[in-house]
Structure 1
Amino acid sequence: MPEITKKELFIALLGLSFISATITFLDWWQRGQAGTNDALLAGAVAIVFLFWVPISSAVFAIKRLGINNIFYELLLWFGCFYIGYRIWGFALAGIYPGVEFGWLDVFFMSIPWAIGTYILYRAYRAYKALQTERLLRQHAELNQLKHSLHPHFLFNSLNTLTAFITSNPKKAELLTHDLASVLRHILDTNNVDTISLKHELMILQKWLNIERARLGDDLKIDIDIDEATLDVQIPPFLLQPILENSIKHATRLPIELTLACRARGSALQVIIRDNGPGFPDTVLATQLENLKHSGLGLSTTIRRIGLMRHANIQLSNNPESKGAVVNISLESNHD
């Protein structure tokens, strides 16, 4: 289970100090001692020995001793609270000579605060463990999705190259260099979560060279990129599967694709359009759920975006051309 950091402990102690100060102030006000030197000193002593010392000591001891058993943790936690409350009782007697707490008084006073703060301590550690597990699971799934995309992409590209080896060896050689660049990109980004949009577009052009060689004049692509977005970090191979899906499902020639990247405040907006048949009404009605099973490339992209923070993907059809429109929004400082 993850340990509490010093910053988190400090924030928690500040919160408890505020609670203690509020309770102490109400007590001063009821006794008519608000603002007196003795009352201020007693309040400071209460904050230090009722919360700061017991909790800090307990957290440090649990971490230092490596205790994982709840019973022993709670016993140690209560021991630290009892000692802190005992010291507070002696200090308070020094400030107010008429005040005196016996060991039994301190014992019963420390029980509710010790149990209450320990429950909060355990609950927060459990929450941190859940968040850590969720992040690790998302990271693992993103890597799995990325790796499942590469064989699909390479298989389609190699088929194109094979067709030119005998008919046009020179072009096959040039396309092999493009594919080699893509392969190097795959290796370079194997353990990378994000790359710049500029880098992604450079590799995308290598893939488009292969597709143009296969389709010739039957493939027309218009790319419009806002220069302000070139340094924005995006996941590798985010755009290629969507363009490939448009080519795959095209029903008329020439295939016309449009890729636009715009800065929208703190977000990067990517819009991809085609002149194909568009998304079926059933897909548009349920958006991503049905499309998750439509094909490896696009479904993988949808699932990847679904795992990202502050990211979304919207599907629609162009009212004029009836072609598919994919609208992606990512936060500019995506990580």
Structure 2
Amino acid sequence: MPEITKKELLIALLGLSFISATITFLDWWQRGRVGTTEALVAGAVAIIFLFWMPIVSALFTIKRLGTKSVFYEVFLWLICFYIGYRIWGIALSSLYPTVNLGWLDILFMSLPWAIGTYILYRAYRAYKALQIERLLRQHAELNQLKHTLHPHFLFNSLNTLTAFITSNPNKAEQLTHDLASVLRHILDTNNVDTISLKQELMILQKWLNIEHARLGDDLTIEIAVDEAVLDVQIPPFLLQPLLENSIKHATCFPVELTLECKAHGNALQILIRDNGPGFPDTVLATQASNLKPWGVGLSTTVQRIEFMRHATIQLSNDPKSNGAVVNIMLEVNHG
């Protein structure tokens, strides 16, 4: 299980200090001694010896001994709290000679706080371990999604190049350069979570050159981008699979695609429209849960966006043309 960091420990100690100070203030307010020097000193002593010293000592001892046993951790935790409370009792007796706490009093006073703080300590470590496990699983799943996407993209592109090698060698050479740029981009972004929208559009154009060569006049695409959003960070290869999916499922030619990237309040809105048959009712009804038959590019992209915080994707059909519409919203301040 992950260890508690110094920052987390400091926050916990400050929180306990607030609780202790509140309890002390209420106690001395009831006794009519609020603001006296003795009350302030007693409050400071309580914060140090009832919480700070026992917890810090327990964590240091557990880490130093390297024990993994819950039984030994609880035992050390109880010992440290008892010692801290014992020192507090001695200090309190020096401030107020009439106060005399025996070892049994100290034991029953320290026991609830020792058990309670230890339970919180273990619960928080378990929570941290769960969060780390989730992040690692999401990272592994994202890598798997990338591996699913890239071979699919390369297979289609290589087929296009093969067709031009004999019929138009010059064109094939140019397209080879475009594909090389795309491949280089894949390698450069393999361990990158986000890139700028400007970079994404530049590499998208390389891919579009290959598609235009394959389809000729049967493909038209209109791109409208607000310059204000060019520096917004988005996941790499977010747009290409969606456009490829529209081309793949086209039932009439020419295939007409529209790509819009614009600011929408505090978010980047990406709209992709086509003139195809639109999404089936089953896809619209289930959105993200029934997309595999509709294309690996679309299903992969939807899963990627689902892993992102502050991001949404909505699938619909244009009410006029009945073509498919993909609406992505990415909050700018969250990347």
Q: TM-score, normalised by structure 1?
A: 0.97
Deviations along 1:102-125, whole A, 9 cap, x unmatched? 222212211111010000000000
Find runs of 4+ consecutive structure 1 residues off by over 3 angstroms.
Answer: none
Query: In the TM superposition, what are the counterparts of 1:1-335 in structure 2 within 5 Å?
Result: 1-334=1-334
Distance in 2 (alpha carbons) for counterparts of 1:172 and 1:334: 41
Deviations along 1:49-90, whole A, 9 cap, x unmatched? 101111112122222332221111111111111111011001
SS in structure 1 at match of 2:290? helix
SS in structure 1 at match of 2:294? coil
Distance in 1 (alpha carbons) for counterparts of 2:265 and 2:72: 52
Distance in 1 (alpha carbons) for counterparts of 2:210 and 2:19: 67
Aligned-residue RMSD, C-alpha: 1.2
Distance in 2 (alpha carbons) for counterparts of 1:18 and 1:135: 33
Distance in 2 (alpha carbons) for counterparts of 1:73 and 1:278: 61
Distance 1:334 1:167, change over 3 A: farther
Instruction: Report the residue type matching 1:249 in the other structure.
Output: H
My pick for the range that moved more, 227-236 or 60-69, is 60-69
SS in structure 2 at match of 1:316? strand
Distance in 2 (alpha carbons) for counterparts of 1:217 and 1:237: 25
Instruction: Report the residue type matching 1:231 in the other structure.
Output: D
SS in structure 1 at match of 2:203? helix
Distance in 2 (alpha carbons) for counterparts of 1:44 and 1:292: 63
Distance in 2 (alpha carbons) for counterparts of 1:83 and 1:229: 60
Distance 1:275 1:312, change over 3 A: same
SS in structure 2 at match of 1:287? helix
Displacement of 1:292: 4.2
Distance in 1 (alpha carbons) for counterparts of 2:71 and 2:170: 75
Distance in 2 (alpha carbons) for counterparts of 1:60 and 1:273: 60
Unaligned runs of 5+ in 1: none
Distance in 1 (alpha carbons) for counterparts of 2:214 and 2:128: 51
Distance in 1 (alpha carbons) for counterparts of 2:314 and 2:40: 59
Aligned residues of 1:223 and 1:258 also touching (Cα < 8 A)? yes
My pick for the range that moved more, 287-296 or 99-108, is 287-296
Distance in 2 (alpha carbons) for counterparts of 1:245 and 1:323: 13
Distance 1:88 1:272, change over 3 A: same
Instruction: Report the residue type matching 2:95 in the other structure.
Output: I
Identity of aligned residues (%): 80
Aligned residues of 1:268 and 1:330 also touching (Cα < 8 A)? yes
Deviations along 1:203-234, whole A, 9 cap, x unmatched? 10000000000111111111111112111111
Distance in 2 (alpha carbons) for counterparts of 1:79 and 1:268: 56
Aligned residues of 1:234 and 1:334 also touching (Cα < 8 A)? no
Aligned residues of 1:274 and 1:325 also touching (Cα < 8 A)? yes
SS in structure 1 at match of 2:261? strand
